[in-house]
Structure 1
Amino acid sequence: MKNDPSALSSFAPTRRQLLGLGLAFAGATAFNVMPGFQLLASAQAAVPPAAQKIADHFSSVKSMSGEFVQFGPKGEQTGGKFFLERPGKIRFNYDGASNFRVISDGKSVAILNKRLNTSDLYPLSKTPLKLLLDDRIDLSGDRVKSVKQEDDLTTIQLADKTVFGNSKITMMFDPKSYELRQWTITDAQGKDTTVMIFNVKEGVSFAADTFAIDYTANRELNTKTR
């Protein structure tokens, strides 16, 4: 990845901004397609060949790590390091004293704030992260809402109301290398959170506990705080 972000502010991400990584849930607002995208008919089976090649390549990357910058709905910035292992596993270690962690173990997604001693748990299957982390990026059926092909960028927008309601995920790839550059989660209220990744390494190995979620600790912590 060639992306090189400018210096980050030191703010700690809010819960909404953390959810923007892929935990945006269904709401009542209508589906809005981003300007400049080519709409695809809901039943259309013919996905552009370039988009399918990109999806197949990204699916073939079984592990990767690197750094990320997150931009919130109001332009807030934070960052840190990420680790991904297909299928279903990802971890974000945020910079800063708040020591935020977002971890998916393939079944659940945990949001940890060690400074506040909180732990929130969500099913991965009900988040847009599921489409990013699936063993195969599925462009079949009506999941593909739009595709935009440019000389330096191919953008694919996916949504699945049966999984996460009115939220959607927009992924941006290098059309030549097929590398993922960034993604944007748009929640049910139309608020965008963008994650840009850089200094990415593919085919990496991780320690066994990298994507582990301590369910016992989560249960005990939330029992005490009720």
Structure 2
Amino acid sequence: MRAGFGALASSTAIGALASSAWAKKVQAAALSDQDKADVARIEEYLNGITTMRAKFQQVDDAGNIAFGMIYVRRPGFLRVQYDPPSQVILVADSIAVSYYDAELNQLNQAPLGLSPLWFLLRDHVSLGGDVTVTTFNRGPNVFEIGIVQTDEPDAGTVTLVLGDKPLELQQWTIVDSKNQAVRVALYNAEFGVKLENALFRTPEKKKGKG
């Protein structure tokens, strides 16, 4: 599968697409006092994540399903590795997002700041200011929060689903600039684990191939 997380690294034209005039059209959700308190709790929880290792299931608009492992080390580092037969790896090295398909020996890169998930990898996660909360819903022990980058709305939207009591990140849905949606559900997530530097090494194309 070459879709999904690849949307994080295939947005090289995003900066040119966004404009201050368009950014002004971003509509923030109308939040009650309880909503604001819960958003503040979620922000504090996300800032408390230093490292994460989890299995994931990814489903795209066409119903394609893929599995793999995801590793996060804040600030700035991410690795997504799909299970075989896929040979796709995605790595954020705190500067850029690299999407490498070993089968095609194809490498695409984009600035990390243009990734829809950049807000999660930042040194300080803020659900306000340069990030706008556009939707907020609650159910029995669950929250759903939709966000966009305030000044770069064309970079895509992210909708997080978190369990409550205790708070735990369970899944997210990314809708990219082409309105293609991908849902990623996390399983067996471990937080605060030691992750080796090699996991976040930028992939390189193989010489003499492709």
Tell me the TM-score normalized by structure 2: 0.83
Match of 1:190 in 2: 179
130-139 or 59-68: which moved more? 130-139
Matched, 1:132 2:159: no
Match of 2:38 in 1: 50
How far off its partner does 1:78 sit?
0.2
Indicate the structure with greater strand content. Answer: 2
Match of 2:51 in 1: 63
Match of 2:149 in 1: 160
Quote the Cα distance in structure 2 between the aligned partners of 1:125 and 1:67: 25
SS of 2:199's partner is: coil
SS of 1:209's partner is: helix
Contact 1:58–1:179 (Cα < 8 Å) also in 2: no
RMSD: 2.8
Q: Deviations over 1:50-106 (max 9, x none)?
A: 121022112111001010000111111001111100011110110112321011111
Q: Percent identity?
A: 23
Q: Classify 1:110/1:203 alpha carbon distance in 2 versus 1 (closer, same or farther; 3 Å).
A: same
SS of 1:165's partner is: helix
- For 2:53, the aligned partner's letter is S
Q: Deviations over 1:150-197 (max 9, x none)?
A: 113101111015235251111110121111000000112322101100
SS of 2:152's partner is: helix
Quote the Cα distance in structure 1 between the aligned partners of 2:84 and 2:209: 26
Matched, 1:18 2:5: yes
Q: After TM superposition, list the pairs within 5 Å mapping 1:1-226 onto structure 2.
A: 13-14=1-2, 16-20=3-7, 22-23=8-9, 25=11, 26=14, 40=29, 48-141=36-129, 143-163=132-152, 165=154, 167-214=156-203, 217-218=204-205
- For 2:106, the aligned partner's letter is T
Stretches of 4+ moved more than 3 A in 1? 22-28, 44-47
Quote the Cα distance in structure 2 between the aligned partners of 1:118 and 1:163: 27
183-192 or 104-113: which moved more? 183-192
- For 1:17, the aligned partner's letter is G
Quote the Cα distance in structure 2 between the aligned partners of 1:212 and 1:169: 25
How far off its partner does 1:24 sit?
6.5
Number of aligned residues? 198
Unaligned runs of 5+ in 1: 1-12, 32-37
Match of 1:9 in 2: none
Quote the Cα distance in structure 2 between the aligned partners of 1:139 and 1:224: 43
Tell me the TM-score normalized by structure 1: 0.77
Unaligned runs of 5+ in 2: none
Q: Deviations over 1:32-56 (max 9, x none)?
A: xxxxxx9625xx8976101210221
Quote the Cα distance in structure 2 between the aligned partners of 1:63 and 1:76: 28
